[in-house]
Amino acid sequence: MEIIPAIDIIDGKCVRLTQGDYAQKKVYNERPLEVARAFEDAGLIRLHLVDLDGAKAGKVKNWKVLETLAGKTSMIIDFGGGIKTEKDVDIVFNSGAALATVGSIAVKQEEELMRWFTVFGAEKFLLGADVKNEKIAIGGWLETTDIWIYDFIEKYTSNGVKQLFCTDVSKDGKLEGPATDLYRRIIEEFPDLHLIASGGVSSLDDLHALRDIGCKGAIVGKAIYEGRIRARDLRFEI
């Protein structure tokens, strides 16, 4: 199972939120490159980079951070937050991202996303699914749709999406363990999906449990920053 450390950016700084709440922000490092290099030095290969300013503004904002991390590390970076137009997608790829992370647009502007798949290739996108009671949540998790997670996955995998990360919004940032039962059900329904778990990971035991049910990856953020998991352990333990 691939471990994907997360860096969330506000004002160019490495932060973490709790359950997506900007009022519950904690700054961990003012130099994201230091953080990324520490992950790289620990042997980690991928990086999940989130532009929280961009997510709030509705357009990519912290592309310079992406450019710096892509240019000064060899990590495979997926970048999300504020990708709303084709111009945003261009900025993300031109700044060095290997994958563009998309979420709400897959619900609100399905036709536009499908067009991007034609232009850039569906395999260049990492689809994010925020879930509450097995229904897709959007708008910073404030709005729960009536879209069943399984229907959502079926639609997009049939259109070429290879990788999807799923976040149970009740778990994110709380260090109370991941939504293992939800992931198990998804994997049973879609055994060929490259499913990446996101949210709630608090220990190596959590990661072992995700690996054992068949997750292909896990995004880890707050547990590293809070010292629950050492980055150097991740390369060898999972």
The question of whether 130 is a catalytic residue gets the answer yes
- Asked whether 182 and 197 are in contact (CB, 8 A), the reply is no
As given in the structure block, the two tokens for residue 75 are 């990590």
Can you tell me the distance from the alpha carbon of 230 to that of 214, in angstroms, rounded to the nearest whole number?
23
Q: Which two tokens stand for residue 148?
A: 């069943």
Amino acid (1-letter code) at residue 113: L
What distances in angstroms separate CA 190 from CA 2, 55, 226, one per listed residue? 18, 29, 33
The helix (run of H) or strand (run of E) holding residue 76 is: strand 76-80
How far lies 139's CA from each of 93, 123, 143, in Å?
Answer: 24, 24, 6
Residue 197 CA to residue 211 CA, distance in Å, equals: 10
For 63-203, where are the alpha helices, taking DSSP H only?
A: 63-72, 86-94, 105-108, 110-120, 149-157, 180-189
Told to judge if 8 belongs to the known catalytic residues of this protein, a careful annotator would answer yes
Q: Which of 53, 130, 172, 206 is catalytic?
A: 130
Catalytic residue chosen out of the listed positions 8, 53, 88, 168: 8
What residue type is assigned to position 123 of the chain? Answer: E
As annotated, the active-site residues are 8, 130
